């Protein structure tokens, strides 16, 4: 079990929601979205961690939006924590970013493409923050033991492991629900990323997606048993500056969470 503020992740505790827009597009968008998610999760009694990337370093196209600027975006994340009283998480991509981001957020996330990067995992571990490692699209779930060992080498055992789909031919992903069971056997909380799992990588100059399957994946994972549910949520996904084809519409969040909570309570 991992504890952050008054939130307990794993150890048989109710599931935690990790949610927010893919990337920080503006302070207004982030505050409005976090306010709405906080209102919903408080009403439903669901622990909530706010997620948004302060920078997108692995866009398909050179011309795609990457961020407002590192410090400006990180300040917005820090202000979400202060304003709404929720922990915050963001992606990091290099060793210097680990130390910088750790000044502003409570949890650090290792992107799936970078889950084998030894120096990045060690740098994240050294910050003492909770480290959420997303399983690479190219990895078997049992291979995540090696990523875990790299963080553990720093003396940091505050680790979470996230499923986000596995490459299934070109431009497609598939989720093997067995991976949630296998990764949990490594001894750390498991997370289901139900939004990146519906991506269709690099379709043309952007990544596509099949958002109609977000709820299916989320409910199926809850039935298997998860410690946290990861959702990228946006008020108007079609206008999002990143992952426009694979984010959940904010208006659909509450209904989904009600069904997930029922399943989680039974499990």
Sequential pLDDT tens for the chain (267 residues): 999 999 999 999 999 999 999 999 999 999 999 999 999 999 999 999 999 999 877 755 565 677 788 999 999 999 999 999 999 999 999 999 999 999 999 999 999 999 999 999 999 999 999 999 999 999 999 999 999 999 999 999 999 999 999 999 898 999 999 999 999 999 999 999 999 999 988 766 567 778 899 999 999 999 999 999 999 999 999 999 988 888 999 999 999 999 999 999 998
Model pTM score: 0.95
Hey, CA dihedral for 106, 17, 142, 215, is it positive or negative? Answer: negative
Evaluate whether 23 touches 57 at the Cβ level (below 8 Å). no
Half-sphere exposure of 90 (CA within 13 A, CB side): 32
Alpha helices in 47-141 (DSSP H): 70-84, 95-102, 118-126
CATH dotted code for 2-266:
3.20.20.70
Q: Which helix (H) or strand (E) holds 174?
A: strand 173-174
Hey, CA dihedral for 144, 145, 150, 152, is it positive or negative? Answer: positive
CA distance 183 to 177: 10
Cβ neighbours of residue 9 closer than 8 Å, sequence gap 6 or more: 1, 2, 3, 16, 47, 160, 189, 227, 228
C-alpha pair distances (Å), 237 with each of 14, 27, 52? 28, 17, 14
Cβ neighbours of residue 168 closer than 8 Å, sequence gap 6 or more: 174
């Amino acid at each position: 079990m991992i504890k952050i503020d008054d939130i307990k992740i794993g150890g048989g505790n109710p599931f935690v929601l990790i949610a927010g827009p893919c990337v920080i597009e503006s302070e207004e968008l982030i505050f409005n979205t976090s306010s709405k998610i906080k209102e919903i999760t408080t009403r439903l009694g669901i622990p909530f961690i706010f997620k948004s990337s302060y920078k997108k370093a692995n866009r398909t196209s050179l011309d795609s939006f990457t961020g407002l600027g590192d410090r400006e975006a990180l300040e917005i994340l820090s202000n979400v924590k202060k304003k709404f009283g929720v922990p915050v998480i963001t992606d990091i991509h290099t060793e210097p970013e680990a130390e910088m981001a750790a000044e502003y957020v409570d949890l650090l996330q290792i992107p799936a493409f970078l889950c084998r990067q030894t120096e990045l995992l060690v740098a994240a571990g050294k910050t003492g923050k909770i480290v959420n490692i997303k399983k690479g699209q190219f990895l078997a779930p049992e291979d995540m033991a090696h990523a875990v060992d790299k963080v553990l080498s720093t003396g940091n055992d505050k680790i979470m492991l996230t499923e986000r789909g596995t490459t299934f031919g070109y431009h497609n992903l598939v989720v093997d629900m067995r991976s949630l069971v296998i990764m949990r056997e490594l001894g750390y909380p498991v997370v289901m990323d139900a939004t990146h799992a519906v991506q269709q990588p690099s379709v043309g100059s952007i990544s596509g997606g099949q958002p109609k399957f977000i709820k299916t994946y989320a409910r199926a994972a809850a039935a298997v048993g998860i410690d946290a549910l990861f959702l990228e949520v946006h008020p108007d996904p079609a206008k999002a500056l990143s992952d426009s084809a694979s984010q959940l519409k904010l208006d659909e969040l509450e209904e989904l969470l009600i069904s997930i909570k029922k399943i989680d309570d039974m499990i």
